[in-house]
Amino acid sequence: MTGFPTAPATFRRRSLQAVLPAAAAIAGALVLSGISAVPVAAEGFAYARSGNNDMSQCAAGKGPAVRLTVSGLKSSEGNLFVRAYPANRDDWLKSKRYVIRIDARPQPGTMAVCVPLPAPGEYAIAVHHDVNGNRKSDLSDGAGMSNNPGIRKILGLVPRPPSVEKTRFSIDGGVSRMSIDVQYM
- Domain assignments of the chain as residue spans, ordered by start: 10-39, 50-184
Q: What is the pLDDT along the chain (185 residues), one digit of tens a residue?
A: 444 444 444 444 444 444 344 444 444 443 343 433 445 555 677 999 999 999 999 999 999 999 999 999 999 999 999 999 999 999 999 999 999 999 999 999 999 999 999 999 999 999 999 999 999 988 889 999 999 998 776 666 667 889 999 999 999 999 999 999 999 97
In whole angstroms, what is the distance from residue 107 CA to residue 148 CA?
A: 19
Report d(CA 98, CA 118) in Å as an integer: 11
Contact yes or no for 104/57 (Cβ under 8 A)? no
What is d(CA 41, CA 85) in angstroms, rounded to the nearest whole number? 10
Q: Please answer whether residues 143 and 88 qualify as being in contact, where contact means their C-beta atoms are separated by less than 8 angstroms.
A: no
pLDDT at residue number 177: 98
Residue 176: its pLDDT value, please? 97
Residues 6+ apart with CB under 8 A from 122: 86, 87, 168, 169, 170, 171
Helix/strand/coil for 36: coil
Strands 65-73 and 175-181: parallel
Q: Which of 181, 166, 172 is nearest to 89 (CA)?
A: 166
Q: How many CA atoms lie within 13 Å of 127's alpha carbon, on the beta-carbon side?
A: 32
Query: How far is 178 from 69, CA to CA, in rounded Å?
Result: 6
| CATH architecture assignment, domain 50-184 | Sandwich (2.60)
Question: Cα–Cα distance between 98 and 84 in angstroms, integer?
Answer: 6
Pick the closest to residue 52 from 134, 130, 113, 126 (CA basis).
113
